[in-house]
Structure 1
Amino acid sequence: MTNNQAENEIAIDRLAEKLGIQATYEDLQGVVQEVPRSTRLRLLQALGFHDQVPRGSVENRQTPRLEVPEGTKCYLPDMLQEKRVWGISLQLYELRSSRNHGIGDFEDLKNFCRIAADAGADFIGLNPLHALFLSDPSRCSPYSPSNRLFFNPLYLAVDNVPGFSEDMIDQKMAARLRYSETVDYVGVADVKLAALKTLWQRWKGSDPSNPRFSSSAFRDFKTAGGHDLCGHCLFEAISGQMTEKGYGSGWLDWPQPFRDCQSREVQDFATAYEEDVDFHAWLQWLTTLQIEEVVTYARAVGLGIGLYFDFAVGDVPDGSSTWSRSDLVLRGMHIGAPPDAFSAAGQDWGLVPLSPAQLTDQSTSHYKKLVGASMSFAGALRLDHAMSLWQLFLIPEGETPATGGYMRYPFPEMIQSLAEISQVQQTLIVGEDLGNVPEGFRPAMEKAGILGYRVLYFEDYDDQGFNLEAIPYHSLACLSTHDLSPLAGWWRSDDISLEESLGRIDPQVALQLRSERQKRKRALLQGLVHIGLLPSDMVIPTDDEAIAPEIAVGLHRLLARVSSMLVTARLSDLIGESLATNIPGTSSEYPNWQLKLKVLVEDLPANPVYRTISAALSEERPKPHRWLGPHSLSGGADQA
């Protein structure tokens, strides 16, 4: 190696360090892992630097800092300064009703808001509602969005769209979809889009008397959406035609000329198929209007916080966001997690990271726009993998997670963007801070007014059970998440049995996991005994024994007694469901994001399990004075 080569490598390493690309990291077991130099070079290339480092580029770079600027604080409702509240989390698609068309929709959600408020809840937690791929509904993971600026029109209640009539729907098909055990996304899309296309033609031929649905209101919506809305809808229109021709729904599978949103072929398509593009804009408009209606109704029936949205950590590489704004992401990199004791191979989440270069200017911050799209309607917003505010584990495309490494993000600028839009929209922020949490991150979150996220299953325990006081006040607590089995299945170790049956763990590991599960169950029961919710001579259930009703109720009382501001119960736990929503790392082996609840929405108030557990939660956390939040029918923050 020549002196010039050696000097250049040193300069490259210094630049990588300045840009926040870490040469080593500490894994969950406390072992320091070295990041391959080839990975750091790939990250530099993704950031726009190649073989040579421009003179002065190191000195002019600001090293990322984990600092919260003074006065930067996310919004917190006054009601939470005095009271602790509870809510119910659900997957919108899993709601079953006697009127929907095979998937939970915004009308089902509106009905559930009233049911939950009557039970004493103050918020409804939802899966991400981000736009997916209408031309390929089988791509149904809500955490793998095409574009986080927009919403998924499959959740539209088509029977609430002006001009709807029952003859627009294939009633036999709708009945089959409605009563199936799982969501048939392809069938649902066929039925709903057929009706919506008919409604689109009717709407264009008339001008509804309701000004909210007028053509001028639609024009205003398109104007406000600007380039971003146009790009997404153009993508959806092209995607629809491409899938009809046998190509994939994502742009990486399209013919070369269509992979460039600025190409002549794309511009010609936009002109020739303007009406198709307008149809997708119309769907986004209707979706926004129906979400606004739910928000208004939720506050009217007494949900003090309202809707609690979930914000995914990234977009897929071949979706509308990366196609229309490729400058905003780091191409060729995927977000994931390093190998650890729970996942020996690590995880590649198949999502692309935002480019840090686009996040530092407050006046043009794309991150502010992204989170603001959800905050316009949310009383609370959950940031999936909140550590992305500071660092992401990035994997070069085509490589394994073992070669990945961490890159730091401009935390002060991102937290300012988040806090500013949080205050404007009056949306409280919850940060999902599970996994490999860097030192100093949780104190920074608390200083910025972001609530932490605590899962009771994961908390430390001793002979006296779980230490409820260890869960901080500035947090949201729950029993489990969408990536874990509901309480009934977790209690029987169904998740461990499933992993073993799929060959993902061997019998010896399964035995160890069951032993650990038994210890955690014992700790939970000790906790119930300690606070007087179970008798001291309670017999520890065996591994395959179903959870007793009094234990299920007791565990929710235990949850409600933790010191956190917010607690949320899964709707699946409130009706005794046992099957998991999602098994991370599986695809065709398990019906992820497809299972429906077994109880109709309208039957929930009479369901004995729902009534008993929700009553227990309400007794432990009685509803505070009614708080009507800022979100009006228009979704604005300045109207009450």
Structure 2
Amino acid sequence: MSSPKRTSSDSAFEHLAESLGVAAQYENMEGEVRDVPLETRKAMLAAMGISSKNDLPGGMTSSPPRLAVPDGVRCYLPGFLEQAPVWGIAAQVYELNSDRNWGIGDLEDIRTLCDIAAEAGADFIGLSPLHALFLSDPQRCSPYSPSNRSFLNPIFLALNKIPGFDHSLADSGRLKELRALPFVDYEAVTELKIRALRTLFEDWSGRLQEPLPYSHREFAEFKQSGGSELYGHCLFEALSFEMVSKGHGGGWHSWPEDFRHASSAAVAAFKDSHSKEVEFFLWLQWLMNVQLTDVAEHAAKAGLRLGLYFDFAVGEAPDGSSSWSTPDLVLADLRIGAPPDIFSVAGQDWGLVPLSPEALREQQMRPYRDLLKRTMRYAGALRLDHAMGIWQLFVMPEGVLPKDGGYLRYQFEEMVRVVADLSRETRTVMIGEDLGNVPDGFRPAMDKADILGYRVLYFEADADGFDPSELSQKALACLSTHDLPPLIGWWANSDINFGQRQGLYAADEATSLREDRELRKSSLLKAAGAPASKTEAAEEAISEEVVVALHRLLARSASMLAAVRLADLSGEERSSNIPGTSTEYPNWRARLQLPLEELAQFPLMNKIAAAMRAERPKT
């Protein structure tokens, strides 16, 4: 049967779609070229407000986006990194367990961890995203599904550092219970912290004289510098609490129609009648800024040459503060995800909304610059989660399954210029998480722009063997990520066993995954010079000797940076997050069983740190 004839209108549509970054095809991880359904592409353009060439924005060129780095566009790399590799500790902030926090890790715990890391010979502390989530709905606790990436999560405030703090602000018995829990009870922790913070706010508001940096003048300057974006987020927070108190959800999609638009008369009336409530949430953002600035400065003084290394999520929740207060900056009818692959045959819908390429173009990338800069001001290094997003994002229009999604491309040349300019301005090392479906030419572009790649040894070691000296120099190397179990659990196949029990894998799929893992274990053992034995290769406990040997292998990699998971240093087995689960597993809740106060003396920690120092000594 012959193919249908292409008409002039078909050609015009293809040209329009291509010029706006809507790709007609893409290559998947198996090297197969897949067509994007016509209806998907039409829906993608409609989400951008374009139905014909007549809608093409003024000043928009007909040239499609290009994956190219302009000459001279390079990110910041400190001299010491090019002379000798360094290492650091990666932690999930909430997992930190101490005898002073309120059942969840906080900024004072991070400050303490900086001291421990510096003493151990490390040069940075890697942190899970600190983005603002949904304070009024604490169960929404994934740090990668933020309400707003521009602002911070006050749940991590160290209350004992706030002026006026008194231990009577919380029931000591209740705090003891929360500290003893194996998982963070977000609802209880948030209730206790917000109640205490409201009392502290009232007391602070009534005192005219406060020492720096907690003075009223400093607060006023912070509010002014934050502008309408900061105010809009805090107005959302106040309104979100009000809506929850009336039986609605924390996200604006569940609110009465009158409150779904930040510019509505109902919202204006709420703003006038709840000004002090909005002020409270502004105060919380200010406190986070004060305390995080202090931690960043302390990290440098402690001897961490890179300081704090932050993780930056790829998108935001569709019903959060960002899409409510600045709706023109996002494409509300699209969702970010991933195409089908061997790990997820149905593809993935991450439930996040993408930034609008046209809004960024119209405002000459200012919103993207502001977004990154708010995090970079505290950072020695910044990891872009799913770094391919500065070139293309896999998206699905409303009601479309991931298998029928397609790629939306951005003005990469301008995006990477913003990243590089900010990196040099703030002296922040940039790391791009380049895992998954990485398009041809993307890694060379990162390399040219001095954006470090991301190399996971679990993935690099396969049946063909593994040589750490062959890893890219411009990269961060690690054993695993937050989406995989710590080394002890990975070795015992805990995630595969759990997935099979939950029905995530059929018996034959689980068997295939176990066989693949055995190959990777053998490859790692061989590369580490640790002979494989029946015990080490089977689903049994990994020996401490092998744990240390694998970290020494990590340290011997050619990559500039190497990150050791705090969970591995403390002998943890439980996963932070198991992809594909929601209620089946307590994602983003597992607290480390080892208290922070015992970490510096923990034998495994000291053996791993010694191995890292031996291979990556400070110069």
Q: TM-score, normalised by structure 1?
A: 0.94
Structure 1 residues 427-454: Cα deviation after superposition (integer angstroms, max 9, x where no partner): 0000000010000000000110100000
- Secondary structure (helix, strand or coil) at the match of 2:361 reads coil
The question of 1:589 aligning with 2:584 is answered yes
One-letter code aligned to 1:75? Y
Separation of aligned partners in 2, 1:217 and 1:147 = 23
Match of 1:578 among 573, 581, 584: 573
Gap regions ≥5 residues in structure 2: 1-5
For residue 362 of structure 1, report the CA deviation from its aligned partner: 7.2
CA–CA separation in structure 1 for the residues paired with 2:80 and 2:362: 33
Change (3 A) 1:92 1:55: closer
Partner-residue secondary structure (3-state), 1:466: coil
Residues of 1 paired with 2:547 and 2:57: CA distance?
62
- Residues 398-409 of structure 1 aligned to structure 2 (within 5 Å): 398-409=399-410
Check whether the contact 1:94–1:595 (CA below 8 A) recurs between aligned residues: yes
1:506 is aligned to 506
Query: Contact between 2:461 and 2:520, CA under 8 Å: does it hold in 1?
Result: no
1:523 aligns with 2:523: yes
Partner of 1:495: 495
Q: Which residue of 1 aligns with 2:612?
A: 617
Q: Residue 14 of structure 1 contacts residue 58 of structure 1 at CA under 8 Å; is this kept in 2?
A: no
2:326 counterpart residue number: 325
**1:383-394 matches, cutoff 5 A:** 383-394=384-395
**Number of the residue aligned with 2:269:** 268
Residue in 1 that maps onto 2:68: 67
Work out the CA distance in 2 between the residues paired with 1:445 and 1:603: 40
Superposed displacement of residue 7, structure 1: 4.0
Query: Does the 8 A contact of 1:136 with 1:249 survive in 2?
Result: yes
Query: Which amino acid is the alignment partner of residue 509 of structure 1?
Result: E
Query: Gaps (5+ residues) in structure 1?
Result: 625-640
Partner Cα separation in structure 2 for residue 149 and residue 315 of structure 1: 10
Alignment partner of 1:88: what SS?
Answer: strand
User: 1:212 — aligned with what?
Assistant: 213
Do 2:317 and 2:353's aligned partners in 1 also have CA atoms closer than 8 Å?
yes
Shift of 1:54: 4.6
Question: Which residue is 2:595 aligned to?
Answer: 600
SS in 1 for 2:151: strand
Secondary structure of 2:559's counterpart equals coil
In the TM superposition, 1:276-315 aligns within 5 A as 276-315=277-316
Give 1:615 shift: 1.4
Structure 2 distance, partners of 1:102, 1:462, is 43
Higher mean displacement: 537-546 or 520-529: 537-546
The residue that corresponds to 2:161 in the other structure is 160
Runs of 4+ in 1 over 6 A off after TM superposition: 55-59
Match of 2:233 in 1: 232
- 1:558 pairs, out of 529, 553, 560, with 553
Between 1:192-201 and 1:174-183, the stretch displaced more is: 174-183
* Deviation of the 1:107 alpha carbon: 0.6
For residue 470 of structure 1, report the CA deviation from its aligned partner. 2.3
Match of 1:47 in 2: 48
CA contact (8 A) 1:394 1:404 kept: yes
Structure 1 CA distance for aligned equivalents of residues 440 and 461 of structure 2: 18
Map residues 287-436 of structure 1 onto 2, 5 A cutoff: 287-360=288-361, 363-436=364-437
CA distance, structure 1, for counterparts of residue 535 and residue 591 of structure 2 = 31
Please report the TM-score for the alignment, with normalisation by the length of structure 2.
0.97
* Conserved 8 A contact 1:514-1:543: no
Once the two structures are TM-superposed, the CA of residue 60 in structure 1 deviates from its matched residue by 3.6
| 1:143 maps to 2:138 | no
Contact (CA 8 Å) 1:359, 1:414: kept in 2 or not? no
SS in 1 for 2:89: strand
For 2:273 and 2:360, locate their aligned partners in 1 and report how far apart those are by CA, in whole Å: 36
Equivalences for residues 24-39 of structure 1 within 5 A? 24-39=25-40
Alignment-derived partner of residue 3 in structure 2: none
CA deviations on 1:207-244 (whole Å, 9 max, x unpaired) are 24313211111111000000100100000000000001
Cα offset for 1:360? 3.1
Corresponding residue for 2:562?
567
State yes or no: 1:93 paired with 2:107.
no
Give me the whole-angstrom Cα distance separating, in 1, the residues matched to 2:343 and 2:363: 38
* Counterpart Cα distance in 2 of 1:362 and 1:412: 15
Equivalent residues of 2:461, 2:523 under 8 A apart: no
Tell me which amino acid in the other structure corresponds to 1:559: L
Residues 1:549 and 2:544 aligned together: yes
Decide whether the 8 Å contact of 2:40 with 2:400 is kept in 1. no
Q: Distance in 2 between matches of 1:542 and 1:314?
A: 39
- Equivalent AA in structure 2 for residue 440 of structure 1: G
1:53 deviates by 4.0
Give percent identity, aligned residues only. 51
* C-alpha distance 490-537 of structure 1, shift in aligned 2 (>3 A): closer
Find the aligned partners of 2:581 and 2:136 in 1 and give their Cα distance.
23
- Label 1:563 to 1:52 Cα distance change in 2 as closer, same or farther (>3 A): closer
Alpha-carbon distance in 2 for matches of 1:323, 1:55: 25
Residue 467 of structure 2 corresponds to 467
Mapped to 2, the partners of 1:280 and 1:109 lie a distance apart of 23
Contact 1:522/1:540 (<8 A) preserved? no
Cα separation, 1, equivalents of 2:93 and 2:326 = 29
* Number of residue-to-residue matches in the alignment: 615
Q: How far apart are the structure 2 equivalents of 1:502 and 1:107?
A: 37
Name the CA distance, whole Å, in 1 between partners of 2:251 and 2:104.
24
The DSSP-based 3-state class of the residue aligned with 1:212 is coil
Distance (whole Å) between structure 2 residues aligned to residue 362 and residue 543 of structure 1: 56
